[in-house]
Amino acid sequence: MLKKLMRKKTTDIQSLNERIEIVKKRQIPNHIAIIMDGNGRWAKQRKMPRIAGHHEGMKKVRQVTNFANDLEVKVLTLYAFSTENWKRPKIEVDFLMNLPGEFLNTYIPELMEKDIKVEMIGNMDALPAHTRNAIEKAMEITKDNQGLILNFAMNYGSRIELVHVMKELAHEVAEGRIEANSINESVINSKLMTAHLPEPDVLIRTSGEVRLSNFMLWQLAYAEFIFTEVLWPDYNEDCLLQAIEEFQNRDRRFGSLEGDQKG
Ligand code: FPP
């Protein structure tokens, strides 16, 4: 029985490696954005408190980040806390605010070894000091790394981001620094928190929910959407590989008639 199980495991690893080789020969998405959903349900299924699901979800962040880095994805944006998540019970919010510290403090040596750079989008000022300090410290230490950008969306909301862009442009017009007629897509892009990043090619949402929940509404205009029933704490390398395979098999036309070439 054990021998049979071990044989099956070796075969699974072999086929995963083969799939990785195939995927690497085609176009790897530059930027993958993930709405990590289903932590609460994962915990409920196990009769555990919701925070146990978030803790398991944090472990998956490490696993998926390392795999995305191995595949040479350039940017991985993870929706870790939305502007609406403050409405959750205090005990859950406090727990979520502790995760960046726990995660980054233990993971920084590995981030350095793997050349991964930490960034953040969202309103940093409204985070508790210990959360902000942990993120700022990780951003500072990893700032010269050249590999994957691990971009946490923390206290992030897309509508408020767009409101800020509009206000800033309104001020610039009022002060005569820009003409209203010269506002175009690239001007708006340049004011977003993601101005320096490529647009996401793929948006993944776990747990079977099929909505955007105020996540990168402008930036996702041409992304391929991939929804999976898998709960975030169960997400793994195989799931990400499947998402990339699906992306590579889609015909991205950006509104024209011709598909792009993915190799
Ligand atoms: C949504 O699931 C998930 C969140 C609001 C938090 C996501 C955070 C993590 C996965 C950990 C982040 C790690 C770091 C290092 C910042 P849910 O609670 O809404 O699940 P449910 O819909 O099943 O209740």
Q: Tokens for 98?
A: 């502790």
**Alpha carbon of 1 to ligand 1 centroid (Å):** 37
- Residue-wise over 35-53: b if at least 16 C-beta within 10 A, else e? bbbbbbbbbeeeeeebbbb
Q: Which residue has its alpha carbon closest to ligand 1 atom 3?
A: 37
Q: Pocket of ligand 1, candidates 42, 96, 107, 108: which has the most ligand atoms within 8 Å of its Cβ, to mutate?
A: 96
Name the residue of 34, 35, 36 whose CB sits within 8 Å of the most ligand 1 atoms, as the mutation to test its pocket.
36
Q: Whose CA is nearest to atom 5 of ligand 1?
A: 81
Average pLDDT over residues 17-44: 97
Ligand 1 atom closest to 53 (CA): 18
Of 30-44, 105-119, 247-261, which range is least confident?
247-261
Judge whether residue 3 has pLDDT over 70. no
Confidence (pLDDT) at 22: 96
* Per-residue pLDDT tens over the stretch 153-171: 999 999 999 999 999 999 9
Catalytic residue status for 85: yes
Which pLDDT belongs to residue 251? 79
- pLDDT of 260 reads 55
Mean pLDDT across the stretch 222-246? 97
User: Mean pLDDT over residues 178-191, rounded?
Assistant: 98
239: CA distance to ligand 1 center in Å? 17
Q: By the 8 A CB rule, do 234 and 241 touch?
A: no
> What is the per-residue pLDDT for 43?
98
Residue 203 has pLDDT above 60, yes or no: yes
The model carries a pTM of 0.93
Strand (E) or helix (H) holding 75: strand 75-82
pLDDT tens-digit readout, 101-124: 999 999 999 999 999 999 999 999
Using the atom order of ligand 1, give the atom closest to the CA of residue 104.
15
Predicted confidence at residue 138, as pLDDT, reads 98
Give the separation between CA 171 and CA 201, rounded to whole angstroms: 32
84 three-class SS = coil
Out of 30, 85, 189, 214, the active site residue is 85
Q: Is 94 a catalytic residue?
A: no
> In the predicted model, what is the mean pLDDT of the chain?
94
List, for residues 48-71, the tens digit of each pLDDT value.
999 999 999 999 999 999 999 999
Mean pLDDT, range 203-212, rounded to an integer: 98
Q: Ligand 1 — pocket residues by CB below 6 A?
A: 36-41, 54, 57-58, 61, 80, 85, 96, 99-100, 103, 152, 207, 232
Distance from the alpha carbon of residue 24 to the mean position of ligand 1, in angstroms: 29
Q: What are phi and psi of 176, to 5 degrees?
A: 75, 15
pLDDT at 84: 96
Q: Which residue has the higher pLDDT, 100 or 253?
A: 100
Give residue 13's pLDDT: 72
